[in-house]
Structure 1
Amino acid sequence: MSHPVFDIRGKVALVTGSSRGIGNALAHGLAEAGCVVVLNGRDPATMDTARRATAEQTGATVLAEAFDVTDHDAVAAGIARIEDRAGPLDILVNNAGMQHRAPFTEFRTEDWNRLLETNLSSAFLVGRETARRMAERGRGKIVNICSVQSALARPGITPYTATKGGLKMLTKGMCADLGPSGIQVNGLAPGYFDTELNAALVADEQFSDWIRTRTPAGRWGKVEDLVGTLLFLCSPASDFVNGQIVYVDGGMTSVL
Protein backbone atom coordinates (compact mmCIF):
# COMPACT_ATOMS: atom_id res chain seq x y z
CA MET A 1 0.00 0.00 0.00
CA SER A 2 1.26 3.50 -0.80
CA HIS A 3 1.88 6.08 1.90
CA PRO A 4 -1.43 7.46 3.24
CA VAL A 5 -0.54 11.06 2.29
CA PHE A 6 -1.06 10.02 -1.35
CA ASP A 7 -4.48 8.46 -0.71
CA ILE A 8 -7.25 10.12 -2.75
CA ARG A 9 -9.72 7.25 -2.78
CA GLY A 10 -13.32 8.48 -2.79
CA LYS A 11 -12.44 12.04 -3.83
CA VAL A 12 -14.58 13.62 -6.54
CA ALA A 13 -12.56 14.98 -9.47
CA LEU A 14 -13.51 16.94 -12.59
CA VAL A 15 -11.16 16.94 -15.57
CA THR A 16 -12.05 19.36 -18.37
CA GLY A 17 -11.25 18.47 -21.96
CA SER A 18 -10.98 14.80 -21.04
CA SER A 19 -12.50 12.87 -23.94
CA ARG A 20 -9.06 12.07 -25.38
CA GLY A 21 -5.33 12.76 -25.20
CA ILE A 22 -3.67 14.12 -22.09
CA GLY A 23 -6.98 14.95 -20.40
CA ASN A 24 -8.26 11.42 -20.78
CA ALA A 25 -4.98 9.98 -19.49
CA LEU A 26 -5.18 12.24 -16.41
CA ALA A 27 -8.79 11.24 -15.79
CA HIS A 28 -7.81 7.58 -16.20
CA GLY A 29 -5.05 8.00 -13.61
CA LEU A 30 -7.39 9.60 -11.08
CA ALA A 31 -9.92 6.80 -11.64
CA GLU A 32 -7.23 4.16 -11.05
CA ALA A 33 -6.34 5.97 -7.81
CA GLY A 34 -9.91 5.50 -6.58
CA CYS A 35 -11.50 8.85 -7.39
CA VAL A 36 -15.02 9.37 -8.64
CA VAL A 37 -14.14 11.02 -11.95
CA VAL A 38 -16.23 13.41 -14.03
CA LEU A 39 -15.22 13.77 -17.67
CA ASN A 40 -16.00 16.96 -19.55
CA GLY A 41 -16.13 18.00 -23.20
CA ARG A 42 -18.55 19.60 -25.63
CA ASP A 43 -19.91 16.58 -27.50
CA PRO A 44 -22.22 14.29 -25.45
CA ALA A 45 -21.72 11.25 -27.71
CA THR A 46 -17.92 11.50 -27.56
CA MET A 47 -18.06 12.00 -23.80
CA ASP A 48 -20.25 8.95 -23.28
CA THR A 49 -17.86 6.77 -25.29
CA ALA A 50 -14.92 8.01 -23.21
CA ARG A 51 -16.89 7.54 -19.99
CA ARG A 52 -17.75 3.93 -20.75
CA ALA A 53 -14.18 3.10 -21.77
CA THR A 54 -12.66 4.69 -18.66
CA ALA A 55 -15.15 2.97 -16.35
CA GLU A 56 -14.59 -0.42 -17.96
CA GLN A 57 -10.79 -0.11 -17.86
CA THR A 58 -10.54 1.14 -14.26
CA GLY A 59 -13.61 -0.22 -12.49
CA ALA A 60 -14.19 3.27 -11.07
CA THR A 61 -17.30 5.41 -10.95
CA VAL A 62 -17.02 7.65 -14.01
CA LEU A 63 -19.55 10.30 -15.01
CA ALA A 64 -19.69 12.65 -17.98
CA GLU A 65 -20.92 16.24 -18.19
CA ALA A 66 -20.91 17.92 -21.59
CA PHE A 67 -20.77 21.72 -21.41
CA ASP A 68 -18.84 24.57 -22.98
CA VAL A 69 -16.09 25.65 -20.58
CA THR A 70 -15.84 29.05 -22.30
CA ASP A 71 -19.47 29.93 -21.54
CA HIS A 72 -20.08 31.39 -18.06
CA ASP A 73 -23.71 30.27 -17.79
CA ALA A 74 -22.93 26.78 -19.09
CA VAL A 75 -20.08 26.45 -16.58
CA ALA A 76 -22.25 27.52 -13.64
CA ALA A 77 -25.00 25.07 -14.60
CA GLY A 78 -22.49 22.29 -15.33
CA ILE A 79 -20.70 22.55 -11.97
CA ALA A 80 -24.05 22.57 -10.18
CA ARG A 81 -25.13 19.40 -12.02
CA ILE A 82 -21.84 17.69 -11.21
CA GLU A 83 -22.13 18.37 -7.49
CA ASP A 84 -25.77 17.25 -7.51
CA ARG A 85 -24.81 13.98 -9.20
CA ALA A 86 -21.39 13.17 -7.73
CA GLY A 87 -21.13 15.20 -4.55
CA PRO A 88 -18.85 18.11 -3.61
CA LEU A 89 -15.84 18.52 -5.90
CA ASP A 90 -12.53 17.88 -4.17
CA ILE A 91 -10.33 18.15 -7.28
CA LEU A 92 -10.47 20.24 -10.45
CA VAL A 93 -8.08 19.67 -13.34
CA ASN A 94 -8.29 22.52 -15.86
CA ASN A 95 -7.06 20.71 -18.95
CA ALA A 96 -9.25 22.06 -21.78
CA GLY A 97 -7.07 23.56 -24.47
CA MET A 98 -6.29 23.83 -28.16
CA GLN A 99 -3.45 24.70 -30.52
CA HIS A 100 -3.38 26.74 -33.72
CA ARG A 101 -0.19 27.30 -35.68
CA ALA A 102 0.53 30.26 -37.95
CA PRO A 103 3.21 32.93 -38.35
CA PHE A 104 2.64 35.86 -36.00
CA THR A 105 1.99 38.40 -38.78
CA GLU A 106 -0.58 36.09 -40.39
CA PHE A 107 -2.42 35.04 -37.24
CA ARG A 108 -6.12 35.89 -37.54
CA THR A 109 -7.83 37.84 -34.77
CA GLU A 110 -10.61 35.25 -34.48
CA ASP A 111 -8.03 32.48 -33.92
CA TRP A 112 -6.30 34.60 -31.25
CA ASN A 113 -9.63 35.07 -29.47
CA ARG A 114 -10.48 31.38 -29.75
CA LEU A 115 -7.16 30.39 -28.17
CA LEU A 116 -7.61 32.89 -25.34
CA GLU A 117 -11.11 31.65 -24.58
CA THR A 118 -10.25 27.96 -24.71
CA ASN A 119 -6.82 27.93 -23.05
CA LEU A 120 -7.11 30.74 -20.51
CA SER A 121 -10.65 32.02 -19.98
CA SER A 122 -11.97 28.48 -19.45
CA ALA A 123 -9.59 27.93 -16.53
CA PHE A 124 -10.72 31.22 -15.01
CA LEU A 125 -14.44 30.45 -15.44
CA VAL A 126 -14.37 26.83 -14.27
CA GLY A 127 -11.82 27.64 -11.56
CA ARG A 128 -13.87 30.52 -10.20
CA GLU A 129 -17.13 28.55 -10.10
CA THR A 130 -15.48 25.54 -8.46
CA ALA A 131 -13.43 27.61 -6.01
CA ARG A 132 -16.54 29.39 -4.73
CA ARG A 133 -17.84 26.03 -3.60
CA MET A 134 -14.49 24.71 -2.36
CA ALA A 135 -13.93 27.87 -0.29
CA GLU A 136 -17.20 27.31 1.58
CA ARG A 137 -15.92 23.85 2.54
CA GLY A 138 -12.40 25.05 3.41
CA ARG A 139 -10.54 22.66 1.13
CA GLY A 140 -9.82 21.78 -2.48
CA LYS A 141 -7.17 21.01 -5.10
CA ILE A 142 -7.01 22.80 -8.44
CA VAL A 143 -4.45 21.80 -11.06
CA ASN A 144 -4.06 23.93 -14.18
CA ILE A 145 -2.47 22.17 -17.13
CA CYS A 146 0.21 24.56 -18.30
CA SER A 147 3.02 23.81 -20.78
CA VAL A 148 6.72 24.24 -21.47
CA GLN A 149 5.36 27.21 -23.42
CA SER A 150 4.52 28.73 -20.04
CA ALA A 151 8.27 29.41 -19.89
CA LEU A 152 9.63 29.02 -23.42
CA ALA A 153 8.68 30.17 -26.91
CA ARG A 154 9.20 28.91 -30.44
CA PRO A 155 8.09 30.23 -33.85
CA GLY A 156 4.56 29.79 -35.15
CA ILE A 157 2.68 29.49 -31.85
CA THR A 158 2.95 32.96 -30.29
CA PRO A 159 -0.71 33.21 -29.16
CA TYR A 160 -0.59 29.69 -27.67
CA THR A 161 2.54 30.69 -25.76
CA ALA A 162 0.78 33.83 -24.51
CA THR A 163 -2.18 31.80 -23.22
CA LYS A 164 0.05 29.30 -21.43
CA GLY A 165 2.14 32.07 -19.91
CA GLY A 166 -1.09 33.67 -18.76
CA LEU A 167 -2.23 30.37 -17.27
CA LYS A 168 0.99 30.18 -15.24
CA MET A 169 0.28 33.59 -13.73
CA LEU A 170 -3.42 32.80 -13.27
CA THR A 171 -2.24 29.82 -11.21
CA LYS A 172 -0.11 32.02 -9.00
CA GLY A 173 -2.87 34.61 -8.61
CA MET A 174 -5.40 31.93 -7.68
CA CYS A 175 -2.94 30.64 -5.08
CA ALA A 176 -2.72 34.12 -3.54
CA ASP A 177 -6.49 34.55 -3.41
CA LEU A 178 -7.54 31.00 -2.52
CA GLY A 179 -4.74 29.76 -0.27
CA PRO A 180 -6.29 31.30 2.86
CA SER A 181 -9.44 29.26 2.15
CA GLY A 182 -7.55 25.96 2.28
CA ILE A 183 -7.33 25.53 -1.50
CA GLN A 184 -4.09 24.59 -3.26
CA VAL A 185 -3.71 25.74 -6.87
CA ASN A 186 -0.75 24.45 -8.85
CA GLY A 187 0.25 23.98 -12.47
CA LEU A 188 1.35 20.80 -14.21
CA ALA A 189 3.36 21.72 -17.31
CA PRO A 190 3.92 18.97 -19.89
CA GLY A 191 6.76 19.08 -22.38
CA TYR A 192 6.37 17.55 -25.84
CA PHE A 193 4.11 14.51 -25.64
CA ASP A 194 3.22 11.83 -28.17
CA THR A 195 -0.54 12.35 -28.49
CA GLU A 196 -2.99 12.26 -31.37
CA LEU A 197 -2.99 16.06 -31.43
CA ASN A 198 0.78 15.98 -32.02
CA ALA A 199 0.65 13.12 -34.54
CA ALA A 200 1.92 15.27 -37.43
CA LEU A 201 4.86 16.51 -35.36
CA VAL A 202 5.72 13.01 -34.15
CA ALA A 203 5.66 11.77 -37.76
CA ASP A 204 8.01 14.58 -38.84
CA GLU A 205 11.41 12.92 -38.46
CA GLN A 206 13.32 16.20 -38.49
CA PHE A 207 11.16 17.63 -35.71
CA SER A 208 11.25 14.38 -33.71
CA ASP A 209 15.04 14.33 -33.99
CA TRP A 210 15.09 17.89 -32.64
CA ILE A 211 12.85 16.86 -29.70
CA ARG A 212 15.08 13.91 -28.84
CA THR A 213 18.21 16.06 -29.05
CA ARG A 214 16.69 19.01 -27.17
CA THR A 215 15.28 16.87 -24.33
CA PRO A 216 17.78 15.35 -21.84
CA ALA A 217 15.52 12.28 -21.52
CA GLY A 218 16.03 11.76 -25.26
CA ARG A 219 12.42 11.02 -26.17
CA TRP A 220 8.87 12.31 -26.51
CA GLY A 221 6.79 12.15 -23.34
CA LYS A 222 4.14 9.47 -22.88
CA VAL A 223 0.82 10.52 -21.36
CA GLU A 224 1.39 8.05 -18.52
CA ASP A 225 4.41 10.14 -17.49
CA LEU A 226 2.06 12.85 -16.21
CA VAL A 227 -0.06 10.77 -13.86
CA GLY A 228 2.33 10.54 -10.90
CA THR A 229 2.78 14.31 -10.67
CA LEU A 230 -0.96 14.84 -10.96
CA LEU A 231 -1.69 12.39 -8.13
CA PHE A 232 0.84 14.20 -5.93
CA LEU A 233 -0.75 17.59 -6.65
CA CYS A 234 -4.23 16.21 -5.91
CA SER A 235 -3.31 14.45 -2.67
CA PRO A 236 -2.67 15.53 0.94
CA ALA A 237 1.04 15.15 0.13
CA SER A 238 0.88 18.58 -1.54
CA ASP A 239 -1.08 20.41 1.18
CA PHE A 240 1.80 22.90 1.65
CA VAL A 241 2.57 23.18 -2.07
CA ASN A 242 0.77 26.14 -3.62
CA GLY A 243 1.22 28.36 -6.68
CA GLN A 244 3.92 26.14 -8.17
CA ILE A 245 4.42 25.09 -11.79
CA VAL A 246 5.80 21.55 -12.05
CA TYR A 247 7.40 20.88 -15.42
CA VAL A 248 7.14 17.28 -16.61
CA ASP A 249 9.25 17.70 -19.69
CA GLY A 250 12.17 15.26 -19.60
CA GLY A 251 14.41 18.16 -18.58
CA MET A 252 13.73 20.44 -21.58
CA THR A 253 13.29 23.63 -19.53
CA SER A 254 16.51 22.98 -17.60
CA VAL A 255 18.98 23.06 -20.49
CA LEU A 256 19.99 25.29 -23.39
Structure 2
Amino acid sequence: MSLFDLSGRLAVVTGARRGIGRAMARALASAGADVIGVSVNLEETGSEVEKDVTAAGRTFEAIRTDFADPDAVRALGAELAGRERPVDILVNNAGTIRRTPAADHSDADWDLVIQVNLHAQFALTRAVGATMVARGRGKVVFSASLLSFQGGITVPGYTAAKHGIAGLTKALANEWAPHGVNVNAIAPGYIATDNTQALRDDAGRSRAILERIPARRWGEADDIAGATVFLASDAAAYIHGTILPVDGGWLGR
Protein backbone atom coordinates (compact mmCIF):
# COMPACT_ATOMS: atom_id res chain seq x y z
CA MET A 1 0.00 0.00 0.00
CA SER A 2 3.02 2.31 0.20
CA LEU A 3 2.55 2.89 -3.53
CA PHE A 4 -0.56 4.89 -2.67
CA ASP A 5 0.90 6.75 0.32
CA LEU A 6 0.86 10.53 -0.21
CA SER A 7 2.30 11.47 3.19
CA GLY A 8 4.30 14.69 3.13
CA ARG A 9 2.95 15.81 -0.24
CA LEU A 10 1.06 19.00 -0.95
CA ALA A 11 -2.00 18.85 -3.19
CA VAL A 12 -3.88 21.74 -4.75
CA VAL A 13 -7.50 20.95 -5.63
CA THR A 14 -9.51 23.51 -7.59
CA GLY A 15 -13.27 23.51 -7.39
CA ALA A 16 -12.82 21.96 -3.96
CA ARG A 17 -15.79 23.43 -2.14
CA ARG A 18 -18.33 20.73 -2.98
CA GLY A 19 -19.16 17.73 -5.13
CA ILE A 20 -16.36 15.95 -6.95
CA GLY A 21 -13.71 18.46 -5.87
CA ARG A 22 -14.54 18.01 -2.20
CA ALA A 23 -14.43 14.22 -2.60
CA MET A 24 -11.05 14.49 -4.34
CA ALA A 25 -9.62 16.64 -1.55
CA ARG A 26 -10.96 14.27 1.11
CA ALA A 27 -9.44 11.27 -0.67
CA LEU A 28 -6.03 12.89 -1.05
CA ALA A 29 -6.01 13.85 2.63
CA SER A 30 -6.98 10.34 3.64
CA ALA A 31 -3.95 9.10 1.68
CA GLY A 32 -1.71 11.51 3.61
CA ALA A 33 -1.55 14.72 1.56
CA ASP A 34 -1.92 18.24 2.89
CA VAL A 35 -4.44 20.19 0.81
CA ILE A 36 -4.87 23.67 -0.60
CA GLY A 37 -8.48 24.05 -1.66
CA VAL A 38 -9.38 26.63 -4.29
CA SER A 39 -12.86 27.80 -5.25
CA VAL A 40 -14.65 31.03 -6.07
CA ASN A 41 -16.92 30.86 -3.00
CA LEU A 42 -14.76 28.84 -0.62
CA GLU A 43 -15.06 29.96 3.00
CA GLU A 44 -11.81 31.20 4.53
CA THR A 45 -12.37 28.94 7.53
CA GLY A 46 -14.87 26.32 8.59
CA SER A 47 -15.77 24.90 5.17
CA GLU A 48 -16.96 21.32 4.87
CA VAL A 49 -13.93 20.40 2.81
CA GLU A 50 -11.64 21.86 5.46
CA LYS A 51 -13.39 19.70 8.07
CA ASP A 52 -12.88 16.64 5.85
CA VAL A 53 -9.16 17.29 5.44
CA THR A 54 -8.42 18.13 9.06
CA ALA A 55 -10.43 15.10 10.24
CA ALA A 56 -7.93 13.02 8.26
CA GLY A 57 -5.12 14.64 10.24
CA ARG A 58 -3.83 16.81 7.41
CA THR A 59 -3.50 20.59 7.02
CA PHE A 60 -5.85 22.64 4.89
CA GLU A 61 -5.57 26.10 3.35
CA ALA A 62 -8.40 27.88 1.57
CA ILE A 63 -7.83 30.18 -1.41
CA ARG A 64 -10.70 32.01 -3.04
CA THR A 65 -10.20 32.50 -6.79
CA ASP A 66 -12.64 33.28 -9.60
CA PHE A 67 -11.65 31.11 -12.56
CA ALA A 68 -13.72 33.35 -14.83
CA ASP A 69 -11.13 36.10 -14.20
CA PRO A 70 -7.95 35.45 -16.24
CA ASP A 71 -5.89 37.89 -14.16
CA ALA A 72 -6.94 36.16 -10.93
CA VAL A 73 -5.96 32.77 -12.33
CA ARG A 74 -2.55 34.03 -13.44
CA ALA A 75 -2.00 35.57 -10.01
CA LEU A 76 -2.91 32.28 -8.34
CA GLY A 77 -0.46 30.40 -10.54
CA ALA A 78 2.35 32.83 -9.78
CA GLU A 79 1.63 32.70 -6.05
CA LEU A 80 1.62 28.90 -5.90
CA ALA A 81 4.71 28.62 -8.09
CA GLY A 82 6.60 31.05 -5.85
CA ARG A 83 5.97 29.30 -2.54
CA GLU A 84 8.76 27.83 -0.50
CA ARG A 85 6.86 24.55 -0.16
CA PRO A 86 6.28 23.30 -3.71
CA VAL A 87 3.06 21.82 -5.02
CA ASP A 88 3.42 18.06 -5.54
CA ILE A 89 -0.08 17.36 -6.89
CA LEU A 90 -2.29 19.69 -8.93
CA VAL A 91 -5.89 18.61 -9.43
CA ASN A 92 -7.64 20.81 -11.99
CA ASN A 93 -11.29 20.25 -11.17
CA ALA A 94 -12.89 23.72 -11.26
CA GLY A 95 -15.58 23.98 -13.89
CA THR A 96 -18.94 25.33 -14.96
CA ILE A 97 -21.63 24.41 -17.47
CA ARG A 98 -24.30 26.23 -19.46
CA ARG A 99 -27.15 24.26 -21.03
CA THR A 100 -28.62 25.92 -24.12
CA PRO A 101 -29.34 24.58 -27.62
CA ALA A 102 -26.45 25.41 -29.92
CA ALA A 103 -28.47 27.80 -32.09
CA ASP A 104 -29.26 29.84 -28.99
CA HIS A 105 -25.94 29.43 -27.15
CA SER A 106 -24.77 32.98 -26.45
CA ASP A 107 -21.25 34.30 -26.89
CA ALA A 108 -21.24 35.15 -23.19
CA ASP A 109 -22.01 31.55 -22.19
CA TRP A 110 -19.45 30.18 -24.64
CA ASP A 111 -16.73 32.54 -23.45
CA LEU A 112 -17.42 31.84 -19.77
CA VAL A 113 -17.35 28.06 -20.13
CA ILE A 114 -14.20 28.05 -22.28
CA GLN A 115 -12.44 30.41 -19.87
CA VAL A 116 -13.28 28.49 -16.70
CA ASN A 117 -13.01 24.96 -18.11
CA LEU A 118 -10.05 25.31 -20.48
CA HIS A 119 -8.17 28.62 -20.50
CA ALA A 120 -7.87 28.79 -16.71
CA GLN A 121 -6.80 25.14 -16.54
CA PHE A 122 -3.91 25.77 -18.91
CA ALA A 123 -2.81 29.02 -17.26
CA LEU A 124 -2.68 27.47 -13.78
CA THR A 125 -1.03 24.26 -14.96
CA ARG A 126 1.57 26.16 -16.98
CA ALA A 127 2.68 28.04 -13.85
CA VAL A 128 2.62 25.17 -11.36
CA GLY A 129 3.77 22.59 -13.89
CA ALA A 130 6.90 24.60 -14.69
CA THR A 131 8.04 24.20 -11.08
CA MET A 132 7.35 20.45 -11.26
CA VAL A 133 9.43 20.14 -14.42
CA ALA A 134 12.27 22.06 -12.77
CA ARG A 135 12.17 19.72 -9.73
CA GLY A 136 11.88 16.59 -11.83
CA ARG A 137 8.66 15.31 -10.29
CA GLY A 138 4.97 16.09 -9.90
CA LYS A 139 1.44 14.95 -10.64
CA VAL A 140 -1.20 16.82 -12.64
CA VAL A 141 -4.75 15.46 -12.76
CA PHE A 142 -7.41 17.13 -14.88
CA SER A 143 -11.16 16.60 -14.60
CA ALA A 144 -12.21 15.61 -18.09
CA SER A 145 -15.69 14.29 -18.91
CA LEU A 146 -17.62 11.76 -20.93
CA LEU A 147 -17.98 14.76 -23.22
CA SER A 148 -14.25 14.56 -23.84
CA PHE A 149 -15.28 11.56 -26.00
CA GLN A 150 -18.85 12.39 -27.02
CA GLY A 151 -20.85 15.39 -28.21
CA GLY A 152 -23.61 15.70 -25.64
CA ILE A 153 -26.82 17.66 -26.07
CA THR A 154 -27.28 21.43 -25.55
CA VAL A 155 -23.78 21.88 -24.09
CA PRO A 156 -21.58 22.92 -27.04
CA GLY A 157 -19.22 25.11 -24.99
CA TYR A 158 -18.75 22.48 -22.30
CA THR A 159 -18.13 19.76 -24.89
CA ALA A 160 -15.57 21.87 -26.72
CA ALA A 161 -13.76 22.66 -23.46
CA LYS A 162 -13.70 19.05 -22.29
CA HIS A 163 -12.42 17.85 -25.66
CA GLY A 164 -9.74 20.51 -25.19
CA ILE A 165 -8.86 19.12 -21.76
CA ALA A 166 -8.35 15.67 -23.29
CA GLY A 167 -5.99 17.12 -25.87
CA LEU A 168 -4.18 19.28 -23.34
CA THR A 169 -3.64 16.25 -21.10
CA LYS A 170 -1.88 14.43 -23.93
CA ALA A 171 0.07 17.46 -25.10
CA LEU A 172 1.47 18.24 -21.65
CA ALA A 173 2.24 14.57 -21.02
CA ASN A 174 4.29 14.43 -24.21
CA GLU A 175 6.42 17.36 -23.04
CA TRP A 176 6.63 16.71 -19.32
CA ALA A 177 6.87 12.92 -19.00
CA PRO A 178 10.63 12.97 -19.70
CA HIS A 179 10.96 15.32 -16.71
CA GLY A 180 9.24 13.03 -14.22
CA VAL A 181 5.85 14.80 -14.30
CA ASN A 182 2.73 12.69 -14.82
CA VAL A 183 -0.17 14.43 -16.56
CA ASN A 184 -3.44 12.49 -16.71
CA ALA A 185 -7.18 13.07 -16.47
CA ILE A 186 -10.25 11.50 -14.93
CA ALA A 187 -13.46 11.43 -16.95
CA PRO A 188 -16.35 11.15 -14.49
CA GLY A 189 -19.52 9.60 -15.79
CA TYR A 190 -22.98 10.74 -14.76
CA ILE A 191 -22.33 11.80 -11.17
CA ALA A 192 -25.03 13.15 -8.86
CA THR A 193 -23.78 16.75 -8.45
CA ASP A 194 -25.16 20.24 -8.98
CA ASN A 195 -23.99 20.12 -12.62
CA THR A 196 -26.28 17.18 -13.34
CA GLN A 197 -29.27 18.30 -11.28
CA ALA A 198 -31.18 19.39 -14.40
CA LEU A 199 -30.70 15.95 -15.96
CA ARG A 200 -31.80 14.14 -12.81
CA ASP A 201 -34.87 16.38 -12.56
CA ASP A 202 -35.90 15.39 -16.11
CA ALA A 203 -37.57 12.03 -15.56
CA GLY A 204 -37.30 10.92 -19.17
CA ARG A 205 -33.68 11.93 -19.60
CA SER A 206 -32.68 10.45 -16.25
CA ARG A 207 -34.33 7.15 -17.13
CA ALA A 208 -32.58 7.03 -20.52
CA ILE A 209 -29.22 7.70 -18.87
CA LEU A 210 -29.71 4.99 -16.25
CA GLU A 211 -30.76 2.47 -18.89
CA ARG A 212 -27.40 2.91 -20.62
CA ILE A 213 -25.21 2.66 -17.49
CA PRO A 214 -24.30 -1.01 -16.86
CA ALA A 215 -23.87 -0.25 -13.13
CA ARG A 216 -27.53 0.88 -13.13
CA ARG A 217 -27.04 3.90 -10.90
CA TRP A 218 -25.88 7.48 -10.94
CA GLY A 219 -22.33 7.82 -9.67
CA GLU A 220 -21.50 9.50 -6.39
CA ALA A 221 -18.69 11.99 -5.87
CA ASP A 222 -16.84 9.47 -3.73
CA ASP A 223 -16.68 7.11 -6.71
CA ILE A 224 -13.94 9.41 -8.04
CA ALA A 225 -11.80 9.07 -4.89
CA GLY A 226 -9.84 5.97 -5.81
CA ALA A 227 -8.92 7.19 -9.28
CA THR A 228 -7.74 10.50 -7.84
CA VAL A 229 -5.42 8.89 -5.29
CA PHE A 230 -4.17 6.41 -7.88
CA LEU A 231 -3.18 9.03 -10.46
CA ALA A 232 -1.63 11.23 -7.76
CA SER A 233 0.43 8.37 -6.35
CA ASP A 234 3.59 6.43 -7.18
CA ALA A 235 1.35 3.57 -8.34
CA ALA A 236 0.76 5.58 -11.53
CA ALA A 237 4.43 6.39 -12.15
CA TYR A 238 4.38 4.97 -15.70
CA ILE A 239 0.99 6.36 -16.69
CA HIS A 240 1.14 9.47 -18.88
CA GLY A 241 -1.46 11.18 -21.06
CA THR A 242 -4.34 8.90 -20.07
CA ILE A 243 -8.00 9.89 -19.71
CA LEU A 244 -9.42 7.43 -17.18
CA PRO A 245 -13.21 7.01 -17.33
CA VAL A 246 -15.02 6.45 -14.04
CA ASP A 247 -18.46 6.00 -15.52
CA GLY A 248 -20.16 2.82 -14.36
CA GLY A 249 -19.46 1.30 -17.80
CA TRP A 250 -21.15 4.02 -19.89
CA LEU A 251 -18.47 4.24 -22.58
CA GLY A 252 -18.28 0.48 -22.92
CA ARG A 253 -21.97 0.19 -23.74
TM-score, structure 1 normalization:
0.92
Query: Is structure 2 residue 149 aligned with structure 1 residue 160?
Result: no
Structure 2 spans left out of the alignment, 5+ residues: none
Selected match of 2:116 from 115, 118, 130: 118
Selected match of 1:128 from 112, 126, 129: 126
Query: Is structure 2 residue 98 aligned with structure 1 residue 100?
Result: yes
In structure 2, relative to structure 1, the CA distance for the partners of 1:193 and 1:47 (3 Å cut) is farther
Selected match of 1:62 from 60, 63, 80: 60
Match of 1:215 in 2: 213
Query: Is structure 2 residue 19 aligned with structure 1 residue 21?
Result: yes
Contact 1:186 1:243 in 2 (8 A): yes
User: Shift in Å at residue 155 of structure 1?
Assistant: 1.8
Selected match of 2:200 from 199, 202, 218: 202
- Alpha-carbon distance between aligned partners in 2 of 1:169 and 1:84, rounded to the nearest angstrom: 27
In structure 2, relative to structure 1, the CA distance for the partners of 1:86 and 1:61 (3 Å cut) is farther
User: Shift in Å at residue 8 of structure 1?
Assistant: 1.1
- Alpha-carbon distance between aligned partners in 2 of 1:26 and 1:199, rounded to the nearest angstrom: 20
What secondary structure sits across from 1:45 in the alignment? coil
Match of 2:247 in 1: 249
Match of 2:34 in 1: 36
Greater shift in the superposed pair: 34-43 or 46-55 = 46-55
Greater shift in the superposed pair: 232-241 or 71-80 = 71-80
- Alpha-carbon distance between aligned partners in 1 of 2:231 and 2:53, rounded to the nearest angstrom: 23
What secondary structure sits across from 1:121 in the alignment? helix
User: Which amino acid is 1:201 matched to?
Assistant: L
Deviation string, structure 1 residues 3-26 (Cα, Å, up to 9, x no partner): 211111121000111111111111
TM-score, structure 2 normalization:
0.93
- Alpha-carbon distance between aligned partners in 2 of 1:231 and 1:173, rounded to the nearest angstrom: 22
Match of 2:178 in 1: 180
Percent identical across equivalent pairs? 38
Contact 2:142 2:165 in 1 (8 A): yes
